[in-house]
Amino acid sequence: MTQYILALDLGTTGNRAILFNKQGAIAGQSYQELTQYYPQPGWVEHDPMQIWQDTCKVIEQVIKETRISPSEIAAIGLTVQRETCLLWDKTTGEPLHKAIVWQDRRTASRCLELIDRGYTQDIQQRTGLVIDAYFSATKLAWLLDRIKQEKLDINFNDVLAGTIDSWILWNLTGRKVHATDHSNACRTMLMNLQTLTWDDTLLDLFEIPPQILPQIQPSMGLFGKTDRDLFGSEIPITAIFGDQQAALFAHGCDRPGLLKCTYGTGCFLVAHTGTQITRSHHQLLSTIAWTRSEIPTNYALEGAIFTTGACIQWLRDGLQLIKTSSETEALSRQVSDTNSVYFVPAFSGLGAPHWDMNARGAFLGITGGVKREHMVRSVLEAIAYQVKEVIDAIERDCNTTISRLKVDGGASDNDFLMQFQADSLGIEVERPVIRDATAQGAAFGAGLACGFWNDYNQLIANRQLDIIFEPGEGTNQAQENYVIWQKAVERAKNWV
């Protein structure tokens, strides 16, 4: 008898397997940290074989530690870091190069060239996206060029391309299924947002052979089954989501006016906009929320902020101002403000709503009286201010007033940050007990698709809230300082 849904959450910094029981609660989990490669400044890569091996490892660990049989798992839901992409040889199963991560900026010059050639409006109309190195299209074009140079005898009939979901699905199914879902495909800058298919004009523009791309399927539905030789059981894979769309699904944001923010390596705000495409006038992304064959397509607006949790990691590993990420909360409370220090976390340029590939990170306003505590606090405040920028843009695009922000992700554990977020926005911030909303959303989708659960609204109603942060006495100061922080952002733009 099946008693569990297995969620695979394959993220930027690590890979996780989480078992959910019939009540939607976590029954067990396993995690493996993922190695980051930085071959040149602005370049970020992952080893696809490590991702695959760690995927197997976390599945085996969670099964072993919970002492269940693989046959008790009703289905698998898969959620992944989205724009990271790779090429591999379908005859050998070997990657042809390390995967290029979504943060990678090596194709920025190609993007600027496309902008100069006047492609901005056409690409935005077709895909809902802005032209930026963040998305997969220019990364895949770079990989294809590199492979052509390095492997002169390459047969492109043997080459497959995809984002991490396609790579893992292909391996899980014993190299039988090469597919992706709409929520991941729409982030490649190659899928037409209206037809929900690969766009021939864009494939020609980026010189990407259509036969190497995965088949696009609805987010919820049967993708295939795991190869019996892997875990001793053929487990159906019944949902694939991009990580941010999975979190949106987990929070119950299934209608216009509801939005969430995931505080991870970056911050990603996604607002549900209904069953019609909403076009942004403030540099937000029009995107797919999720799809299912028997329901209309769900669309969303997204603000992608590249560097948030990553700058806390930098305080720890780079500057060594802290030993653990959790220290930032206590240090920030030791001072009443930042002593006029403002931080701009533009390590990989600026995402929404600026989309400045040349911006660089900066501390501004440093004087002799500035201490470690002030600098740490300014980093946390900058995270909240970036989120405020995007919410302001969402309100203008959707002509609505947001009354509550739903949050998840590692940095949402920080009470100081969440309170400052509520103060800077002037609205409530809702934090659930389960912070792994990406995995939870993938599990919900897989369980609903296979009939393990039948009522989405009941699943959402059963979620437990941890705390609701309300705007407090720091609201006026937070909002006044936001205006100065915006000036700091302008100083950091167009740096190179």
For the chain, the structural domain boundaries read: 4-244
* Residue 408, helix vs strand vs coil: strand
DSSP state of 341: -
Find out whether 380 and 417 touch, Cβ atoms under 8 Å. yes
Cα–Cα distance for residue pair 162/102, rounded to 1 Å: 13
Q: What is the CA angle 229-232-237, rounded to 5? A: 85
State residue 59 phi and psi, 5-degree precision. -65, -50
Residue 408 · residue 290 · CB < 8 Å: no
Q: What is d(CA 301, CA 286) in angstroms, rounded to the nearest whole number?
A: 5
pLDDT of residue 496: 60
Q: What's the token pair of residue 346?
A: 């533009």
- Written as one letter, the residue type at 201 is T
Cα angle 435, 326, 476 (rounded to 5 degrees) comes to 85
Are 303 and 390 a contacting pair, CB within 8 Å? yes
Q: Quick check: 308 and 345 in contact, CB under 8 A?
A: yes
The pLDDT value recorded for residue 418 is 96
Q: Which of 374, 373, 357, 356 minimizes the C-alpha distance to 365?
A: 374
> Among residues 456, 83, 31, 88, which one has the least CA distance to residue 253?
456
DSSP code string of 357-376: TT---EEES--TT--HHHHH
d(CA 420, CA 426) in angstroms, rounded, equals 10
Note the CATH architecture for domain 4-244: 2-Layer Sandwich (3.30)
pLDDT in tens, the chain (496 residues): 779 999 999 998 899 999 999 988 899 999 999 999 999 988 999 999 999 999 999 999 999 999 999 999 999 999 999 999 999 999 999 999 999 999 898 999 999 999 999 999 999 999 999 999 989 999 999 999 999 888 878 888 899 999 999 999 999 999 999 999 999 999 999 999 999 999 999 999 999 999 999 999 999 999 999 999 999 899 999 999 999 999 999 999 888 888 899 998 889 899 999 998 988 888 899 999 999 998 999 999 999 888 888 899 899 988 899 999 889 999 999 999 999 999 999 887 888 888 887 888 999 999 999 999 999 999 999 999 999 999 998 888 888 888 889 999 888 999 999 999 999 999 999 999 988 889 999 999 999 999 999 999 999 998 889 999 999 998 999 999 999 999 999 998 866 6
Which amino acid, 424? Answer: S
Q: What is the pLDDT of residue 155?
A: 85
Q: What angle do CA 129, 277, 186 make, to 5 degrees?
A: 40
Beta bridge partners of 468: 430
Q: What is the pLDDT of residue 197?
A: 97
Smallest Cα–Cα separation from 407: which of 422, 396, 395, 392? 422
pTM: 0.88
Q: What is the DSSP string of 246-314?
A: HHHHHTT--STT-EEEEESSSEEEEEEEESS----SSSPEEEEEEEETTEEEEEEEEEEES-SHHHHHH
Host H or E run for residue 488: helix 475-492
The DSSP symbol for 214 reads P
* 327 in Cβ contact with 377 (< 8 Å): no
